[in-house]
Amino acid sequence: MLASVLFFSCMDAVMKLMTAHYPPVQVAALRGLSALPLVCLYVVWRGEAGRLLQVRWPLHLLRGVLGVAMLSLFAFGLKNLPMSEAYTLFFIAPLLITVLSGPVLKEKVQPLHWAAIAVGMVGVVVALRPDQGAFFTWGALAVLGAAGCYAVSAVTGRVLSRTDSSAAMVFWMTVLLSLGATVLAANGWVPVRRDDLWTIVLLAGTGFVGQICITEAFRHGLASVVAPFEYSALACGVALDWLLWHTLPDGATLAGAAIIVASGLYLVRHERRTAAALRA
């Protein structure tokens, strides 16, 4: 999950750069289309090309629709918000995943997990400064919608991982994202500039590796435990905001980030102690 956060943060930075020249839905389409050759090579390398049709189609189609909506909404949000602010809003996703993991996945959510995520969400509220109307901008609402789509997609992916391979999950997510976003973007398609070709290559690489990492994260770990590690994305967002756009978050965002990171580190420490006790 930590590796996926790093690669997806770099991908988000590339998407933010691209939204200055292309519509958000087209950026989502380019994300899928550019990664598709890498995904095909990955499937062939895994030797699973012959099993791609033996999947649970309804759940894959649901993840495809959610993927198009999530990336399009998040690209729109990135166009209007700094990455650090977009990430603080997106951090509602781990809470939604935890809420869904009980009734959908039949996972036992430990009280400590609820407490750690609740503390993290307090940090999100501090960083959001709701008294300034942060919830009521179109960019903020788009990011919140993307977080909801991501949470449902992540839980659906966990269900799929019980029967379908990682290669099939990554392949069909990429294919459906490419097709769906391209159809939606077709009417307003902007010709791709030659100067942006290397940017698209970077978009493909970071998105592909990030997708592999996150698929494996939810395959091998409980959703309610893995999800809080996404809080580390805030640090990546702050760093990229400073490096690329020379902006830094204000005191409220930093205070919220400190609370979020502290809750995440506490949860990690508890899980390591629990794992050590079980091995003993």
Q: What is the pLDDT at residue 271?
A: 62
Mean pLDDT in consecutive groups of 10 residues from the start of the chain, 280 residues: 91 93 94 92 88 88 94 92 84 76 72 80 75 68 91 88 85 93 94 92 90 81 72 84 86 79 71 63
Q: What does the longest C-alpha to C-alpha distance in the chain come to?
A: 61
Q: What is the pLDDT at residue 270?
A: 67
CA angle 112/89/261 to nearest 5° reads 45
Q: Which residues contact 57 (CB under 8 A, 6 or more apart)?
A: none
Q: What is the pLDDT at residue 118?
A: 83
Per domain, the residue ranges of the chain are 2-279
As a whole number of angstroms, the distance between CA 239 and CA 242 comes to 5
Could you report how far apart the first and last alpha carbons of the chain are, in Å? 26
Q: What is the pLDDT at residue 211?
A: 80
Helix (H) or strand (E) holding 208: helix 197-220
Q: What is the pLDDT at residue 92?
A: 77
Which amino acid, one-letter code, is at 43? V
Q: What is the pLDDT at residue 279?
A: 64
